[in-house]
């Protein structure tokens, strides 16, 4: 992999201004329509790719910019802050989970086949870990990939798959040996056009309505040993090694979304009148804003620190879990308090703060629940297993 190139602060700001204009023109006018349809159009992926907003930190030889991971973080932060949480989630899965898995674990052939098309948006990526009976406990998955000559046959079901309706390639966690526990788990890169791959329904969710979240079913899907990602039997360890980036980017999206909700609340309390004065004039309102701003900045500071550690190859799983725990809990509480400032209007769907509220709830669940984060953090302090 080539050395990542650095971009200046001025270049970053110019890039983010371009992203903001893109969101204003290509997303904002249609987002409510997509929320009602419970999916955004497949063509949006192509537009994101055409404008250079996908997989930006992938190496130049695979179509990316080869820039710092910080720019990828900035994209997720900006889209989250703009109030498009479902889009931010879809982009982060594609660019910050699936692409790095292939980039870090894939063979040269796998990287050449998938990464350039992921950069352009021609190919949409998804990852299949969760199953109906296995969430955070990945060792309990039931999907199998049984060797059949030089090939493997994959059977099983995955659920809660972000980008499940649009995906062209999916990374699947499977059991290649059901008797070996974690050592019997393997990852496969699977072309979604293969016979036997079926998409289930687009799941109805409390929030993130425009982001497709699906069930997928595999019935005797035949793949070859060339489709194994990162080595047979190494799936569990590879998942554990890649999870810190996932939880880091989730923490960043929490900070961005909380900042977006805070901005909405500040604008509202400056305009809304009560008892002859703006709500912002009340000491309670100002003090509450001060508390919320402080909490957001604390999580932002932790995120920035851990981004630097991640780029230096020093971020631990426990540290990534601490950010995910702190930022997701912070987001939930900040958005709740921001909605309260809107009074009855905060409960109305026409106000963006109500969408921010329901979108925030999943952050404490996916990517590892808050309870699982506490378990992982506690083990780094005292492991009594």
**Domain 127-233 belongs to what topology?**
Butyryl-CoA Dehydrogenase, subunit A; domain 2 (2.40.110)
Q: Do 9-124 and 127-233 come out as alike in CATH topology?
A: no
In angstroms, the CA 143 to CA 135 distance is: 13
**Domain 236-379 belongs to what topology?**
Butyryl-CoA Dehydrogenase, subunit A; domain 3 (1.20.140)
| Six-digit token string for 265 | 């609340």
Q: What are phi and psi for residue 296, nearest 5 degrees?
A: -65, -45
In angstroms, the CA 107 to CA 103 distance is: 8
CATH number of the 9-124 domain? 1.10.540.10
Nearest to 122 by CA among 168, 190, 184: 168
Which tens digit of pLDDT belongs to each residue from 320-360? 999 999 999 999 999 999 999 999 999 999 999 999 999 99
Instruction: Please give the C-alpha separations between residue 374 and each of 295, 320, 377, in angstroms, as whole numbers.
Output: 19, 11, 5
Core vs surface per residue 287-297: b (16+ CB within 10 A) or e: ebbeebeebbe
Nearest to 360 by CA among 375, 339, 379, 380: 339
In angstroms, the CA 194 to CA 202 distance is: 20
Which tens digit of pLDDT belongs to each residue from 20-59? 999 999 999 999 999 999 999 999 999 999 999 999 999 9
> Are residues 338 and 359 in contact, defined by beta-carbon separation less than 8 angstroms?
no
Per residue of the chain (385 residues), give pLDDT as tens.
334 455 568 888 899 999 999 999 999 999 999 999 999 999 999 999 999 999 999 999 999 999 989 999 999 999 999 999 999 999 999 999 999 999 999 999 999 999 999 999 999 999 999 988 776 777 788 999 999 988 999 999 999 999 999 999 999 999 999 888 888 999 999 999 999 999 999 999 999 999 999 999 999 999 999 999 999 999 999 998 988 999 999 999 999 999 999 999 999 999 998 899 999 999 999 999 999 999 999 999 999 999 999 999 999 999 999 999 999 999 999 999 999 999 999 999 999 999 999 999 999 998 889 999 999 999 999 877 6
Nearest to 268 by CA among 276, 278, 277: 278
Active site residues: 246
**Beta bridge partners of residue 202, listed in sequence order:** 214
Domain coordinates in residue numbering, the chain: 9-124, 127-233, 236-379
């Amino acid at each position: 992999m080539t050395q990542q190139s650095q971009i200046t602060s001025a270049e970053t700001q110019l890039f983010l201004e371009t992203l903001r204009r893109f969101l204003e023109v290509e997303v904002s006018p249609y987002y409510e329509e997509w929320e009602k349809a419970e999916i955004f159009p497949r063509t949006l992926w192509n537009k994101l790719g055409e404008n250079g907003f996908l997989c930006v930190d992938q190496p130049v030889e695979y179509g990316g910019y080869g820039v710092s991971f910080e720019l990828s973080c900035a994209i997720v932060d900006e889209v989250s802050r703009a109030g498009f949480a479902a889009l931010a989630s879809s982009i982060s899965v594609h660019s910050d989970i699936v692409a790095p898995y292939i980039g870090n674990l894939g063979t040269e052939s796998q990287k050449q086949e998938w990464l350039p098309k992921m950069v352009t948006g021609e190919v949409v990526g998804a990852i299949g870990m969760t199953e109906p009976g296995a969430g955070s406990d990945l060792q309990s998955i039931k999907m199998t990939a049984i060797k059949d000559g030089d090939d493997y046959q994959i059977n099983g079901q995955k659920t809660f798959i972000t980008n499940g309706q649009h995906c062209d390639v999916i990374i699947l966690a499977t059991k290649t040996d059901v008797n070996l526990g974690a050592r019997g788990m393997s990852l496969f890169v699977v072309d979604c056009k293969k016979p036997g791959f079926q998409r289930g329904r687009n799941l109805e969710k409390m929030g993130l309505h425009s982001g497709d979240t699906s069930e997928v079913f595999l019935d005797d899907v035949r793949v070859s040993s060339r489709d194994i990602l990162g080595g047979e039997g190494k799936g569990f360890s590879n998942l554990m090694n890649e999870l810190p980036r996932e939880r880091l980017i989730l923490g960043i999206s929490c900070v961005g979304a909380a900042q977006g909700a805070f901005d909405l609340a500040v604008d509202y309390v400056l305009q809304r009148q009560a008892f002859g004065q703006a709500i912002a004039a009340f000491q309670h309102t100002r003090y509450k804003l001060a508390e919320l701003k402080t909490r957001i900045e604390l999580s932002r500071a932790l995120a920035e620190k851990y981004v630097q550690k991640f780029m230096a190859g020093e971020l631990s799983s426990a540290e990534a879990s601490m950010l995910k725990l702190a930022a997701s809990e912070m987001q939930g509480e900040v958005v709740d308090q921001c909605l309260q400032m809107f009074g009855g209007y905060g409960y109305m769907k026409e106000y963006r703060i109500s969408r921010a509220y329901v979108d925030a709830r999943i952050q404490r669940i996916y990517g590892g629940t808050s309870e699982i984060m506490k378990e992982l953090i506690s083990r780094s302090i005292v492991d009594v297993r």
